[in-house]
Amino acid sequence: MPITIHIYDDNAALRQSLEQLLDLSGEFIVTGSFDQFVQPSADAMPDIILMDIDMPGTSGIEGVRKIRETNKKVPIIMLTVFDDNAHILEAICAGASGYLLKKSISEKLVPSIKEMIAEGATLSPSVAKMIIQAMQKTSPKEQYHFSSREKEILEWLCKGNSYKMIAAGLNISFETVRTHIKHIYEKLQVRSATEAVSKAINEKLI
């Protein structure tokens, strides 16, 4: 069954390019294309939302906040030209699920959507680097008594790595990663990778 997608971006040419790119894959259907934020109704919520971080009127970040008031689960990928920490961290804290810089969108969009559907949040490498740099500037405010492995996995999660990538990078099994992340969620009292990353950033845990 095709994956349904809403696109929010005030750049008409970019929206058209994204629609064509998604249509060519044969795996997606664009069910909404908007030049400004419009709150999706519960019965018309797509499988994925692509949201420009900076739009006139209601910004993409504020749009994420509004969506999260009624829907905590729909993956929201922010499309951004910004390379400053403030916008990116604000979007994470608002509840965005993943990020892509527009300069790499043609090659990264489809793989990122597939990974988002399969395993959770994804971050472009350059965005992930900025997030980690921001977190490393300060010390943790709270202690959640993470084991050394849990802290290591949380760091990998915050860098945008999937469960499979974490397992390969740390030379442990996929199920071991899943178990550790379950424990991380319990200690942080969150239910998703997005919430875990957001809390880690807000409380400067990494």
For residue 154, give the CATH number of its domain.
Answer: 1.10.10.10
Are residues 90 and 122 part of one domain? yes
Q: What is the dihedral of CA 130, 131, 134, 140, to 10 degrees?
A: -160
77 shares a domain with 40 = yes
Q: At what angle do helices 148-158 and 174-188 cross, to 10 degrees?
A: 90
Residue 181 pLDDT level (bands cut at 50, 70, 90): very high
**Which among 115, 132, 149 is the end of a domain?**
132
Domain that holds residue 190: 139-202
DSSP-based three-state secondary structure for 122: coil
- Which CATH number does the domain housing residue 12 bear? 3.40.50.2300
Residues 6+ apart with CB under 8 A from 178: 163
pLDDT digits (tens, 9 = 90+) for 44-87: 899 999 999 888 889 999 999 999 988 888 888 888 887 666 77
Both tokens of residue 90?
A: 């604000």
pLDDT of residue 83: 64
| Residue with token string 């202690």 | 143
201 or 9: which leads in pLDDT: 9
Q: How far is CA 134 from CA 17, 35, 70, 89, 102, in A?
A: 33, 31, 30, 9, 21
Q: Which amino acid is at 119?
A: E
Q: Count how many domains the chain has.
A: 2
Whether residue 115 sits in one domain with residue 89? yes
User: Last residue of some domain: 132, 147, 171?
Assistant: 132
pLDDT tens, position by position, 12-44: 999 999 999 998 888 899 999 999 999 988 888
pLDDT of 140 over the 70 cut: no
Contact 19, 87 (CB under 8 A): no
Do residues 101 and 186 both lie within one domain?
A: no
Contact 167, 176 (CB under 8 A): yes
3-state secondary structure of 139: coil
The per-residue pLDDT for 196 is 85
Check whether residue 156 and residue 192 sit in a common domain.
yes
Q: Are residues 73 and 173 in the same domain?
A: no
Residue 195's pLDDT is 83
* pLDDT confidence of residue 125: 57
Q: Looking at the structure, tell me whether residues 67 and 103 fall in a common domain.
A: yes
Residue 141 — very low, low, confident or very high, per pLDDT cuts 50/70/90? very low
Residue 122: pLDDT band (50, 70, 90) is low
What are 51's strand-pairing partners?
Answer: 8, 78
- 38 and 63 fall within a common domain: yes
Q: What is the average pLDDT score of the chain?
A: 83
Based on the fold, state whether residues 143 and 127 are members of the same structural domain. Answer: no
Higher pLDDT, residue 135 or 31: 31
pLDDT-above-70 percentage for the chain: 85
Are 21 and 100 members of one domain?
yes
What are the phi and psi torsion angles at 57 (to 5°)?
A: 75, -120
pLDDT in tens, 148-171: 899 899 989 888 888 999 999 999
